[in-house]
Structure 1
Amino acid sequence: MIMSEPSVSRNADKLVKTLSTPVIFFAAIKAIIGGGVIALTGVIIANTGGGTPLAYLVASLITVLAGIPYAVLAATLPVTGGIYSWPSRLISPTCGFLVFWFFSLTHVSLSLYALTCSDYLMAFFPDLPKTAVSFVILTVIYLANLLGAALSARLSMILTIIMLCGMLLFVGEGIGEVEIDNFTTLLPNGFAAFATSVALLLFVTNGACTVAELAGEMKNPARAIPVAIMGSTAFAALIYMLVSVTATGILPLSEVAHQPLTVVAKSFMSPGSFLFFSIGAGIISMLGITNVQMLWGSKSLLVACDDGWLPRSLGRVSLKTRVPYLLLTLLYLIGVIPILCGISVSNIASAAAITFLAAQIVCIICSWRVRKTPAYQMSSFRISPALHIITATLSIAILGCMIVMLLRDTDSKTLSVMGVWLLLGITLIFVRRKNVITNRVLASEGAK
């Protein structure tokens, strides 16, 4: 049963509905495309070799499958910070907080994008200090998001268009240079390595789901969310396949493993085209995906603060820009720390993928529970019980297997950090649970 929303003053109520469906659609495309192809293709080639396009295809199909029940949930209950709000209201407040807390580790990927962006800059300026450049990149995006969600979303839309032009130029000039021999061995390191690659890619191919976090700032969330999740994922799958085939099929695989796409692009693109690709699909793409994550990343934190799990003052929203500036600062710190500590890109990606997939499993469970609410009968996006059961069950089983594969290949240091983070969240449950109960009692009384 869904609990009444508080009528008392909440920070989340200060957000304004400024985001249109086209803006959300482009934000979803940016959340999917840029991060995966640009930041992880070299890692996937190292794991999977000629099977890289197949890994992208499988990840995209799984994403579409899981996106069906996810879209049902998001369209029925378009709330701010769904990753926290859905399990909190449909399962239990404790479950909601634990899911949100573990999921918050996903934001270490901010450092992944900043580091990758600096890699592309260093293609032109090889003597640049990578750590310092990554720090500056993340700082600039953080400052831009402090100016407001509407500005940030429009900036993301412009960056997405430039990024797509760069990628299409890469494919257009390179597809004719592809050597079929590079794809003769699809699983050079075995099925386990292939499955791990698919699991890593699910973190980014599922990126469209994150736009549901922005429901409180959308003009028409019930329409915008399903369109963004399903439409952008299908479009991104085509881009993924074209780019991954080009990236894998031109140079010997040993030369592109763990390397940015500029290594491939430089081998066949003219100087002018290479410059546009590196800036548009590399630098601007990474700026865009970092910007989108800053845009949606604070929303579950904001609602958790309103409910009492974290100090309410931490979720304070600026009356001028309508952004939770303290929470944005917290996200910024989560992204900066791995950069300053020199943590590897692959370890950052593994931690982010595990936490993201775990949260998505819980949200898919919530999608079934929401069918029992009155809101579902008025939803603009409904599916048959049979289709819901099939897609939800298959999605949970596949995502669970992917988590197991990632855990198996993640180093002990990263697992230790994740374990400590989870224990800290459990401790907060015992410390703050009384505050949450009090807040909900006041909300219930205020709703009468």
Structure 2
Amino acid sequence: MSQVQSTKELQRVLGRKELFSIAIGQTIGSGIFALLGVGLAMTGRSANLSMIVAAVFVILISIPNIFVGGTIRMRGGFYTQLGLLVHETCSGFFVIVHILAWTALALYALSFADYTLALIPGLNRTLIAFGTLTFFYGVNMLGIQSAAKVQNLMALIMTVALTVFVCYGLPQVQPGYFQGPDFMTGGWRNLLSAGALYTWAIGGANVIVYLGAEAKNPTRDIPFVIILATLIIALFYALMATVAAGVLPIAEVAGQPLSVVAAKILPRPVYVFFIVGGAMFALTTTLNAALGWVTKPILQACVDGWLPSGLGVLTVKHKIPYVILTLLYLESLVPIFFEFNISTIGNMAVILNNVLFALVCFSAVRLTTRVPELWAQSRFHVSTGTLKFWSVLGGVATLGQTLLLFSVLKPYEMVGNGVVLVTAAGYAVMRKRSGKVHMEISYEEA
């Protein structure tokens, strides 16, 4: 093992194809296969409209990210952005929230177990989730290139399976879809709240910002991939939500996995292919992609002194932050073995990440003053007024959807989210005052 512990040491091996595959794989999974049933319970057949609402939210949020990501290479992703464009303490706050929010890795493993049980009833859900998480932890320990190769194959099969589901399902949607008691069952507030929840699904493409240190040409490829992947995902999700909500009564599918609808519309051999190649691969591509990028801001935080430097050591051959990856793996086992509710995990992850994304959006305004030379040369350069408009709009949209989600939480979920945010803020302030934080420059021209 190497004692080198810097994002400078990461290998720049990811081109546009690999980034696109990672973005698609990261995105398809939690929304349709883990959280769609939650949204159906909230808003009924208007879940497809909630997907459109989510797409609008995501586009508003993504525009400021594209301005920044298209201007500089950020080796710590949004962690780097907040430290550069706002204040160093924001980076400390970010990394603690990031660590706690990504207990959500367990969400994908637990959902994978649910779909496995749809094929083979009677198995142990906890052991399946444990085995799934452990396998992809091992894959990512072998290096990001190995993980990307696995990702490419699974993403291709998954795309075919989703297309099959839509093609079989749309002709079977019952007439009068937009009428009756099953449409907008929770009113406008729940329709918008479900849209806010679904941003966790449709908005997954922007995580490739965290791979700036390993991208060959991040300022060109990352903005392109974010836009294209988001549009493709939004189309798939809206069509799949229509099938999920329109074939059976809402009472039969609310809170349930897609396997319930798939069993109704697909012949048995096609159903098995959909469950394995669609649902199960969607969840594992998300899990695989997340394990690849979620360590990067934590690694940079170890370099900068927000966390103990010993956590950031890398393997010699593949430059994997193996201690960080192992600790995240162990953290994610807690919800699996204690059988946390999927809805609770999902809502916590969305709310905490949205708080961070709001800060990220607002921070884009400061490109003009913090890196004026690089901003002037950016292919995405716009007037200062235009930059401010999109940054503020993205931040306000993010805060708005966060408040929508917060309003439908259970009291203990509200308290849990509040405790995480207060703890992260307190830690960041105290660590900064301790004198142990010395942030290196983790951005550069690309």
Task: Tell me which interval the TM-score lies in, with the shorter structure as reference length.
Answer: over 0.9
Of the three residues 220, 244, 249, the one matched with 1:247 is 244
**Structure 2 unaligned runs (5+)?**
none
Structure 1 residue aligned with 2:428 = 429
| CA distance, structure 1, for counterparts of residue 262 and residue 330 of structure 2 | 33
Trace 1:140-159 onto structure 2 (pairs within 5 A): 140-159=135-154
Task: Report percent identity of matched pairs.
Answer: 30
Residues 415-424 or 282-291, more deviating: 415-424
The yes-or-no answer on 1:78 pairing with 2:73 is: yes
> CA distance change for structure 1 residues 436 and 147 in 2, over 3 Å: closer, same or farther?
farther
> How far 1:331 sits from its partner (Å)?
1.5
Letter of the 1:232 counterpart: A
Letter of the 1:410 counterpart: L
The yes-or-no answer on 1:220 pairing with 2:214 is: no
Trace 1:174-193 onto structure 2 (pairs within 5 A): 174-185=169-180, 186-193=183-190
> How far 1:338 sits from its partner (Å)?
1.1
Runs of 4+ in structure 1 off by over 6 angstroms are none
> How far 1:10 sits from its partner (Å)?
4.5
| CA distance, structure 2, for counterparts of residue 181 and residue 56 of structure 1 | 20
| CA distance, structure 2, for counterparts of residue 153 and residue 27 of structure 1 | 7
| CA distance, structure 2, for counterparts of residue 435 and residue 82 of structure 1 | 25
- The TM-score, its normalising length taken from structure 1, stands at 0.93
Of the three residues 231, 235, 238, the one matched with 1:234 is 231
More helix by share: 1
Task: State whether residues 70 and 219 of structure 2, in contact with CA within 8 Å, keep that contact through their aligned partners in structure 1.
Answer: yes
**Structure 1 unaligned runs (5+)?**
1-8
Residues 394-403 or 264-273, more deviating: 394-403
> How far 1:443 sits from its partner (Å)?
7.8
> CA distance change for structure 1 residues 168 and 73 in 2, over 3 Å: closer, same or farther?
same
Structure 2 residue aligned with 1:14 = 9
The yes-or-no answer on 1:307 pairing with 2:304 is: yes
| CA distance, structure 1, for counterparts of residue 355 and residue 438 of structure 2 | 27
| CA distance, structure 1, for counterparts of residue 168 and residue 441 of structure 2 | 59
The yes-or-no answer on 1:110 pairing with 2:105 is: yes
Q: Deviations over 1:26-50 (max 9, x none)?
A: 1111222222111111111111111
Of the three residues 21, 40, 44, the one matched with 2:35 is 40
Structure 1 residue aligned with 2:23 = 28
| CA distance, structure 2, for counterparts of residue 62 and residue 389 of structure 1 | 17
Letter of the 1:146 counterpart: M
> How far 1:418 sits from its partner (Å)?
3.0
Q: Deviations over 1:267-314 (max 9, x none)?
A: 011111101100011111111100111111001101111000000110
Please report the RMSD computed on the Cα atoms of aligned residues, expressed in angstroms. 2.0
Letter of the 1:28 counterpart: A
Q: Deviations over 1:109-152 (max 9, x none)?
A: 21111111111100111101111211111111111111101111
Task: State whether residues 29 and 108 of structure 2, in contact with CA within 8 Å, keep that contact through their aligned partners in structure 1.
Answer: no
| CA distance, structure 1, for counterparts of residue 78 and residue 29 of structure 2 | 22
> How far 1:387 sits from its partner (Å)?
3.7
Tell me the SS of whatever aligns to 1:141: helix
Q: Deviations over 1:197-242 (max 9, x none)?
A: 1111112211111110010001111111101111111111111111
Of the three residues 361, 364, 367, the one matched with 1:367 is 364
- The TM-score, its normalising length taken from structure 2, stands at 0.93
> How far 1:322 sits from its partner (Å)?
1.0
Tell me the SS of whatever aligns to 1:219: coil
Structure 2 residue aligned with 1:136 = 131
Letter of the 1:261 counterpart: L
The count of aligned residue pairs is: 436
